[in-house]
Amino acid sequence: MILKRLYTSIKNAVFPPRCMACRRLFTRMEHAIGHGCNTEDTGADSFRKLMAPFVCDDCLPQFTAIESPVCPKCGMMFRERVSDDHLCGECLTGVRHVDYARAIGVYDRSLMHAIRAFKYKGRTQLARPLGRMLFELYGRCYGRGGDLRTPPDLIMPVPLHRRRFRERGFNQAYLMIKEWPGLMTTGHAWDSHVVRDGMIRKRRTKPQAGLDKKRRKENIRGAFAVSADTDVKGKHVLLVDDVYTTGATAEECARVLRASGASVVDILTVARTL
Ligand SMILES: [Zn+2]
Ligand SMILES: [Zn+2]
């Protein structure tokens, strides 16, 4: 432990880390990312604790947690902060293939910068803290003392098209849940299984960024399939992704999963737009 601290302080003095959010050099002892899940932690606690080795002191508080009042179904956070959780207009009136969506924080400020650094600049060292934050959210949603929702049978990353995968070199959603099976066995007896290639992206789509809600829906329609060797019949499936924007991607995945017989489809993301 002492040797590791010494090594870290020498390394930081010679190669000071850059903040993943603002890119400034900063000095910080690296905190070891421990095991065991703390479902008492809020999203903001998780962010401070797990992102401290990567984000400077100025940027660490630049995080907005998703907190009640939210829509109990799609997880949308209401701007009006003084009411209880209640269904949003769209969940009241529209067809939803996703039963339950939750996210840790708002897609803005430090969380947005960190996700962009991870996804577009190949800072894959962020997969671990972001994945742990997601795992803690998973614990709050499905574990003891959380929302007490029945744990899912299968956990799948939202897939990338194989060409996008080759360009990027990794699927950010899968990198975040890769270590979950190990975390589950250390503290939980949940019988959920991570399936890396449960879904495939059969059609390459234009980036969703910059498209409005209707165009996003059209753009993504028919892009996904359940892989031939995955049986989702009667299963409760949990999808995992980095960001939830309009929900078009999640809805399309859920539509396809349900057409293949999935009974319930949930999604957890690190961030969502307001
Ligand atoms: Zn910073
Ligand atoms: Zn809703």
Are the C-beta atoms of residues 119 and 242 closer than 8 Å to each other? yes
pLDDT value, residue 39: 59
Domain that holds residue 267: 42-79+86-272
**Max Cα–Cα distance, the chain, nearest Å:** 60
Q: Is 50 exceeded by the pLDDT of residue 213?
A: yes
By mean pLDDT, which of 43-47, 134-138, 204-208, 216-220 is the weakest?
A: 204-208
Residue 197 lies in a domain: yes
Q: Compute, in angstroms, the gap from residue 56 CA to the centroid of ligand 1.
A: 4
Cβ burial 195-227 (10 Å sphere, 16+ → b, else e): beebbbbeeebeebeebeeeebbebbeebbbbe
Q: Is 60 exceeded by the pLDDT of residue 216?
A: yes
Report the chain's mean pLDDT, rounded to a whole number.
87
Residue 166 lies in a domain: yes
Q: Compute, in angstroms, the gap from residue 60 CA to the centroid of ligand 1.
A: 7
Q: How far is CA 260 from CA 153, 232, 240, in A?
A: 15, 7, 18
- Per-residue pLDDT of 96-108, as tens digits, reads 999 999 999 999 9
Instruction: Please report which ligand is nearest the Cα atom of 72.
Output: 2
Are the C-beta atoms of residues 54 and 126 closer than 8 Å to each other? yes
pLDDT value, residue 14: 67
Residue 97 lies in a domain: yes
- The domain total for the chain is 1
Q: Compute, in angstroms, the gap from residue 145 CA to the centroid of ligand 1.
A: 34
Distance between CA atoms of residues 160 and 28, nearest Å: 35
pLDDT value, residue 38: 61
Residue 5 lies in a domain: no
Q: What is the mean pLDDT of residues 18-26?
A: 90
Instruction: Please report which ligand is nearest the Cα atom of 63.
Output: 1
Strands 264-272 and 224-226: unpaired
Q: Compute, in angstroms, the gap from residue 188 CA to the centroid of ligand 2.
A: 30
Q: Which of 136, 209, 220, 126 is nearest to 170 (CA)?
A: 126
Q: Is 90 exceeded by the pLDDT of residue 117?
A: yes
Instruction: Please report which ligand is nearest the Cα atom of 247.
Output: 2
pLDDT value, residue 145: 53
Residue 114 lies in a domain: yes
- Per-residue pLDDT of 239-258, as tens digits, reads 999 999 999 999 999 999 99
Residue 21 lies in a domain: no
CATH of the domain at 204: 3.40.50
pLDDT value, residue 34: 44
Residue 238 lies in a domain: yes
Q: Helix, strand, coil % (nearest 5) of the chain?
A: 35, 15, 50
pLDDT value, residue 32: 44
pLDDT value, residue 259: 97
Residue 104 lies in a domain: yes
Q: Is 70 exceeded by the pLDDT of residue 33?
A: no
Q: How far is CA 124 from CA 19, 46, 103, 116, in A?
A: 14, 18, 20, 11
Q: Compute, in angstroms, the gap from residue 27 CA to the centroid of ligand 1.
A: 11
What pTM value is reported for the model? 0.89
- Per-residue pLDDT of 147-205, as tens digits, reads 578 889 999 999 999 888 999 999 999 999 998 888 876 555 466 789 999 999 998 88
Q: Compute, in angstroms, the gap from residue 91 CA to the centroid of ligand 2.
A: 4
Instruction: Please report which ligand is nearest the Cα atom of 59.
Output: 1
Name every residue whose Cβ is closer than 8 Å to that of residue 69 and which is 6 or more positions away in sequence. Answer: 77, 78, 80, 81, 82, 83, 84, 85, 86
Please tell me which residue, 13 or 273, carries the higher pLDDT value: 273
pLDDT value, residue 185: 64
Q: Compute, in angstroms, the gap from residue 114 CA to the centroid of ligand 1.
A: 10
Neighbours of ion ligand 2 (CB under 5 A): 71, 73-74, 76, 88, 91
Q: Compute, in angstroms, the gap from residue 120 CA to the centroid of ligand 1.
A: 18
